[in-house]
Amino acid sequence: MYIVAIIRDKLKKYLKKTTQNDSEIEDLNLNDSDIHNSHKKEVDSEQWKAFKNGDEASFINIYTQYFPVLFNYGHQFTQDKELIKDLIQDLFIELKQKRKTLGNTNSIKFYLLKSYRRKLLNCLKRDKLNTSKKKKFVRDTFEIELAYESCLINVQLKDEIKFKLNQALNDLTKRQREILIYFFQDGLSYEEITSIMEFSRIEYTRVLMSRSLSKLRGILNDLTKK
């Protein structure tokens, strides 16, 4: 999964910081309005309401737009493509069947990611993966790759440095990679990340984000000195 331009820009700002306290890290976004603008929320809210009221075009639009998002997301948990697709189909069938009783949302992506994550993890647990597969599941999921055209530092990267940078990103823990993807790539707010990762308090989300960026910053600083 590729890091989009927004993570590049914000991490470049982060590299310029001389200290690493939480307030500075939050300043990077860490203003939610950068990602979640009011217009997008209004559009999502209206489309979701239309879907709940039986508008078939809205359902098709949601399905078409978010099927590839959920498919790529599913690959972070398992490489079983058929399972990923089957569970996405099941999710949309359930949503359509229960749409009159569904709650409202102003972020369709968040609603679907959270619902799909729960469904997928429950399915994987039921499969009772053996110990070796469980280890692979933890180690290999939420892999981050640096696209050729993306630079996290404001210099021309040599192939060797790009390789090391990819390794550095993937040296983060699974939870650290997961939160970076949710925040920078999927554009989820701290409140949404807290919910989707099932943290009991938003402070835990802030701490994990702070530690993830601090660790990545240290690695990147080491790389830029070479």
CB atoms under 10 Å from CB of 176, counted, come to 20
Q: How far is CA 157 from the centre of its chain?
A: 25
pTM here is 0.71
pLDDT in tens, the chain (226 residues): 444 344 545 555 554 554 445 445 554 554 444 544 677 889 999 999 999 999 999 999 999 999 999 999 998 888 889 999 999 999 999 999 999 999 999 999 999 999 999 999 888 888 765 444 444 444 455 654 444 334 344 344 456 666 666 677 777 888 888 888 888 878 888 999 999 999 999 999 999 998 888 887 777 677 666 5
Q: Is residue 26 a contact partner of residue 206, using CB atoms and an 8 Å limit?
A: yes
- CA–CA distance, 213 with 48 (Å, rounded to integer): 34
Q: Is residue 111 a contact partner of residue 41, using CB atoms and an 8 Å limit?
A: no
Instruction: Please name which of 21, 50, 32 lies closest in space to residue 184, comparing C-alpha atoms.
Output: 32
Range list of β-strands (E), the chain? none
Instruction: Please name which of 217, 212, 219, 214 lies closest in space to residue 197, comparing C-alpha atoms.
Output: 212
